[in-house]
Structure formats: structure tokens, C-alpha cells
Homo-oligomer: A and B are copies of this chain.
């Protein structure tokens, strides 16, 4: 049952056939028969901000520069006014170094921090919450017809998920058009890679929607707000704090979007319900996509 899919609308689409992103693994099934599996890769990538080692992320390994840039920005370690001189990726050393003009406020703060309570690991979350202060998202209208169109296109886009599984996807969209589809072992990496791409390409966030296969936790909501994107939709569930932060920053939050079903948890007044849900095909039970409940 071959299907021809128009993915030409994407600026960046998944490349499930790419070398280095997946590997052949032999397993045995429940009957003891050997089976060939295509399994996603996972490699460490250590991110530096200038001379400062920040974190080692586990990633499939595509777009290391976008991942580093997006991670540092979404954590509030890179500010909007930091001037980026360059990003150096060393495949062999599995490191990526983001270089800025002069030292960042974060590095400065970190130095003080290591002199007092010790290390910066625990401050990461505090920095993220701090970065959220003053964020106000634009009051945009969201057409349910666009949301349904996006979900249908994204779910049918050839991806590592459909081919190998065990990976999350996040897609930057505009109206009914998916633009940039990133996948990664951790759902946060996929979002960070999109943030890095937006930063590099100086992309406007106010007219965009973010779609993710992963759960809507506080961290996912904070990252989306830090990116300035006013709409976040997912086929998966959500946490109470994720919903609370979305309501605080004015993010339109849509969860459990499968077939004709969805739940709007924040920004209900901005939804334009221009699609008739009963006309939307429900997902077959055996659809490739699963997503957490």
C-alpha cells in the first residue's frame, strides 16, 4: 500500500534513511525467530558555552549546532542580546562550542555560584523560570482547521519514528503548513534544535505553532514560551504545572490531539472552531503513531 506524500512544503523534513541516525540490530521475537531491526542511534554531545562546559546531552546526532544554540537559549543561558561569534562542532570529540563576543551574564553568574553553594546543576531550572519573567505571548487566533490539517500532514510524513520508533518529533508550523520537523531521542532536544534553527535563521515566532509528539510538561511549555511561540499542540498528555504555566504566559495549549479528538487546556478564547470534528477521520486503532496517554 504505497502512498505518495507531498512533503515539499517542508524547509527541513526528517531524513529516515540518513547514515548515522539509525543502525541495524538483530533481535529474536517471541517465537525465537531472528529479526532484523532498524534502531535509532543515541550519542553523547557535550555542549560548551565559550570555555564553560555546560551539559552532556544524549542525541541522535544530527544538527549539533542547532541543538547547542537552542539548548543554551531555552535554558536562559544565552540572552537575546548575546552576540554569537561562531559554533564549532567536533565530531570526533563529540563536543560543540558556542562562542559569544565577550563573556555571557550566565558564565559570570556561574563563577559566583561555584564560589558559594557549589555547582550550577541545580540552578538550571531556576534560570529557566527566571527567563520566563517578562515573556508575553502574542494574542493570536488559532483555527481548528489548521490544527487538524497539521496533525494529518505530520503523522503521514516519513520519519525515523515511523521507521524505527523510540524517538520524539517536534514540528515548527505556520497556519496549516509544517515547516521544520526535528526528531530526537529526548523530546527536549527536538524542541531545542528548532529553537537553534530559528535563532540562526532569525525566524519570527509570533505567527508559528509548535507541534510535538511528546508530553506537555512544565519544561516543554517553558521552552515554547521562551521561543515566543504562542501555540503548542501535542498528541500526548499534560501535567498540571504545564497547564498552569501555559495559562500564566498566555500560551494556547492543546493536548491529546488524535484524529478528531483534542483537549484545549489554555487559550480557549483564541480558538476559531472552523472545522467540524465529525468530518475529521478518526485515527485507525492500528495507526503507526502511539504517543503517551
Contacts and interface: CB of A to CB of B under 8 A. Distances in A.
Interface string A103-132: 000000010001001111111111000000
Interface residues of A, number: 75
Nearest to A234: B166
Nearest to A35: B263
Contact of A30 (B110, B277, B291): B277
B30 A241 contact: no
A43 B240 CA distance: 9
A237 interface: yes
Interface in A163-215: 164-166, 185, 215
A122 B282 CA distance: 44
Interface in A121-167: 121-126, 144, 161, 164-166
A63 interface: no
Interface in A242-293: 242-243, 255, 260-265, 268, 273, 277, 285-286, 288-293
B185 A217 contact: yes
A11 B268 CA distance: 43
A144 B31 CA distance: 11
Contacts of A239: 39-42, 166, 185
A121 B35 CA distance: 39
A27 to B, nearest CB: 4
Contacts of A32: 273
A55 interface: yes
B56 A219 contact: no
Interface stretch (A1-9, A44-52, A223-231): A44-52
Contacts of A237: 39, 164-166
27 contacts: A25-B243, A27-B255, A28-B268, A29-B263, A29-B264, A30-B262, A39-B237, A39-B238, A39-B240, A39-B243, A40-B240, A42-B239, A44-B125, A51-B117, A52-B118, A53-B122, A58-B217, A110-B119, A119-B119, A165-B293, A166-B215, A166-B292, A166-B293, A285-B285, A288-B293, A290-B291, A291-B292
The 4 tightest CB contacts between A and B, nearest first, are: A166-B237, A285-B285, A165-B293, A42-B239
